[in-house]
Amino acid sequence: MFKTALTALLMLLPAFVSGSEPFTIISGSGERSPKQPQACVDSRGVAHVTFGVGADVYYCRTGVDEKPSPLVAFQVPNMSLGMRRGPRIAHAGDAIVITAIGGPQGKGADGDVLAYRSLDGGKSWLGPVKVNDIEASAREGLHAMTASDDGTLWCVWLDLRAKRTQLFASKSIDQGASWSKNQLVYQSPDGSICECCHPSVATEGDSVHVLFRNSLKGNRDMYLVSSNNKGETFGLGERLGIQHWSLNACPMDGGMLAIAPNGEVVTAWRRGNTVFTSIGKAKSDTMLENGEQPWIASNPSGTYVVWLTKRDGQVRLAKLGTPNSTTIAENARDPIVAVGDGNESPVFVFWEQRAGDRVSIECQLVH
């Protein structure tokens, strides 16, 4: 019945969505429920995918002509999973690098960012290498990672070494084998940034951009902080959006950023019950629709945004600059969109699918 409903939905999709149905990568229930898919797309248009199942970190590849065969890559004790916590993946040269947060105790008592790398296409994994240089300072479990064009890896995370939530970063220039001295990227004048919203990071040339939710003067607004000298120094954080979000709580919704082909930073994020996009650092925004948990990706073929109408609700998809958005799934959580660099690269959407007590990781290819 579920696949029949998806087929009916696909008949209504706009032209930029492929006619093939979504396909299942893996499914499970209870403690073996797969969670938090993440992906990066290489120059051949193949998606490298990771997700968590309990303490197991899985890896697989998928593409137009490649079916996924997910296998356990390694284990991370008490791995942080759910609400945008979970492993992250990037490819740097001929290496595939996955980071995840875990620790001997878990449940917020400890947690380190642990990096693993594969030099043989995911057949074997080296690691772990600890990214944060203060023990257990990443115990909030929220982080992001990306790779620049020259293969430099950047990792950012919510850090508690000062007993308040700060934004820290580290980079690797040797495919994840070692990581630099940790760098404070942003500290809120009010003491802590938003405690439970994941950060995001993107790079282009000499620039490194980090998106995060701040906690300042009673507002939970999105901020962008950037470096124009390969991360040697970071500027002041700049607020996005034309209005504040006054909220005495954490919405657990960190948004996402990408670099457009013209070099501009494009972001997607939530304020209140609405998803917005913005270009650059100006205090401006464009409303998409009501929703939450947005994700954005951009390449020469366009800029794509996915989001949820609500948790366990619909996955919505839009291509910026086109008039319509569309539903591609029901009963879903935490979608992401991933693209390669070329015009002809497939666009991949991944999400958690709920069906009774079973959870699956699903994928949809988009033109």
Q: What is the pLDDT of residue 215?
A: 97
**CA separation for the pair 289, 316 (Å, rounded):** 9
Residues 6+ apart with CB under 8 A from 120: none
What's the whole-model pTM score? Answer: 0.94
Q: Which residue has the tokens 């137009």?
A: 64
**CA separation for the pair 230, 234 (Å, rounded):** 9
**CA separation for the pair 129, 100 (Å, rounded):** 11
Residues 6+ apart with CB under 8 A from 262: none
**CA separation for the pair 144, 157 (Å, rounded):** 6
**CA separation for the pair 362, 15 (Å, rounded):** 21
Look up the CATH number of the domain holding residue 288: 2.120.10.10
222: domain range? 2-366
Q: What is the pLDDT of residue 16?
A: 55
Structure tokens at 82: 């759910």
How many CB atoms are closer than 10 A to CB 289? 15
One digit per residue, pLDDT tens: the chain, 367 residues? 333 333 333 333 444 555 468 999 999 999 999 999 999 999 999 999 999 999 999 999 999 989 999 999 999 999 999 999 999 999 999 999 999 999 999 989 999 999 999 999 999 999 999 999 999 999 999 999 999 999 999 999 999 999 999 999 999 999 999 999 999 999 999 999 999 999 999 999 999 999 999 999 999 999 999 999 999 999 999 999 999 999 999 999 999 999 998 999 999 999 999 999 999 877 789 999 999 999 999 999 999 999 999 999 999 999 999 989 999 999 999 999 999 987 778 899 999 999 999 999 999 999 7
Q: What is the pLDDT of residue 341?
A: 86
Domain count, the chain: 1
